[in-house]
Amino acid sequence: MGTHETDVLVVGAGVAGIAAARALRARGLSCLVLEAKPRIGGRAFTDATGFDHGASWLHQANDNPLTAFAEALGFEMVDHDKLRQRLLFTEGRFATQAERRAFSEAEDRFWRVMEAAAADGLPDRAASEAAPSGGRFDALVAHWEGAQICAAELSRMSLHDFTATALDGPNLVLRRGLGTLLTTLAEGLPIRLGAGVSRLEWGGDGVVAEGAFGLIRARAGIITVSTGVLAQGGIAFSPILPVPVLEAIHALPLGLLNKLAFPIPPGVLPEFGPFASLRRDIAGPGDRPISWIARPYGAPVMLAFIGGSLAWELSRAGPAAAEAHARAEFARVFGAEAARALGAPIITDWGNDPAFFGSYSHARPGAQVARRVLAEPLGDGRLIFAGEACHPRFAATVAGAWLSGEAAARNLLPEGVG
């Protein structure tokens, strides 16, 4: 190995970094994973209460590589779509069965229109330009599919990328938490916590990482930090990254989806079943409703989800503003007394976390190709980026991050590892 301390240096111990390290070991290569935070898992983090602060679902579970791991490790999983009662609040009341059916039809129409637009042969454009409008629930569907699902409004997103990365079910949740699964999968890996990389040289015959830990040399490097961190210059690269790569990083910004977990005192809510979901209809121009999930696994908890531009605004205002907004939204449906009765929440804020600066990526209009550009090996295989932003099909998910990490380990060229 000469002066190289390991074959491959992996920067980031999130989903992609863990997948890359496991794949490198399977390939017979040594590696070291450097993680800036004092924990592993990245944006898949389950706390001691079992609350998933970030990633919560195994989307499209039959095609999700983590499903098999969860099954093999004996994790209890449930199909969220089969369990949950879908509630819609409109015009100051809960929707009728006919109204819920009309909303479901609007969702189906939305996807038919969007998929047809993506296949029409015209240049890529903002997803909002193709979205249906004029129907009673069209605005709510667009808000739900954009800000509340993709963490960004449709006007900020590439139509082609939006449709290419759309997900199907089943959507599984893990009783012990998705972050717990990642922690289990990372057992035995050479991970150094509290080891943030501030500078990375990749112009020689290998890579050199620099941080408070000093210098670490390797034959090749896999960078799995978020595009939010990369766009803000969280790592200084020497030589500077090629222009197409820099453009791809900035074309794949992170949206924001924050959660609040409120304890529910007895008698505050109707007896919703576990995982009941609630959406409030848009009341007028500029209205940006949040959404709720009640009683996960029957626990006395109400989860609030705040996405898109509203999430960024509340993130800048601070956690007290997010809590106040969520309580006001709760009061609109269940009354002010019920809102005051909710317990003190756990509040996530991925936007202000300097290890991420957001939740998950979307491609700007016209920039669908950016995901493939970012995933291309550099320097004869010495340097490669990985993460959910690099996957053209399962972007913004743990599946995409895992598959991207495995691909990065596989695509390191022989020249890059000696």
Tens digits of per-residue pLDDT, 298-313? 999 999 999 999 999 9
Per residue in 69-102, pLDDT (tens digit) is 999 999 999 999 898 899 999 999 999 999 999 9
pTM of the complete model: 0.96
pLDDT at residue number 186: 98
Check: CB of residue 8 under 8 Å from CB of residue 18: no
* Phi, psi (deg, nearest 5) at residue 218: -145, 165
The model's pLDDT over 5-21, given as tens digits with 9 standing for 90+, comes to 999 999 999 999 999 99
| DSSP annotation of 302 | E
CA 65 – CA 398 distance, rounded (Å) = 9
Mean pLDDT of the chain: 96
pLDDT tens, residue by residue, 250-262: 999 999 999 999 9
- How far, rounded to the nearest angstrom, does the alpha carbon of residue 173 sit from its chain's CA centroid? 15
* Tally of helices (H runs) and strands (E runs) in the chain: 14, 18
User: What is the reported pLDDT for 2?
Assistant: 42
Q: Where residue 264 falls among pLDDT bands split at 50, 70, 90?
A: very high
pLDDT for residue 413 is more than 90: no
Q: Is the pLDDT of residue 418 over 70?
A: no
For 131-187, give the DSSP string. Answer: S--SSTTHHHHHHIIIIIIISS-GGGSBHHHHHHT---S--EEETT-HHHHHHHHTT
DSSP E strand boundaries for 38-133 = 57-58, 77-79, 86-90, 93-94
Give per-residue pLDDT as tens, 134-172.
Answer: 999 999 999 999 999 999 999 999 999 999 999 999 999
Helix or strand holding residue 226 (H, E):
none
Q: Read off the pLDDT of residues 320-362 as tens digits, 9 standing for 90 and up.
A: 999 999 999 999 999 999 999 999 999 999 999 999 999 999 9
- Say what the alpha-carbon torsion angle 315, 317, 319, 322 is, to the nearest 10 degrees: -80
- Which residues are CB-neighbours of 36 under 8 A, at least 6 positions away? 12, 194, 195, 196, 197, 355
Three-state DSSP at 338 gives helix
Q: Average of pLDDT values for 52-61?
A: 97
Return the C-alpha torsion angle 55, 57, 61, 64, nearest 10. Answer: 10
Band the pLDDT of 414: cuts 50, 70, 90.
low
Is the predicted pLDDT of residue 274 greater than 80, yes or no? yes
pLDDT at 1: 35
Whether 5 and 216 have beta carbons less than 8 Å apart is answered as: yes
* 223 pLDDT higher than 50: yes
Distance CA 387, CA 375 (A): 9
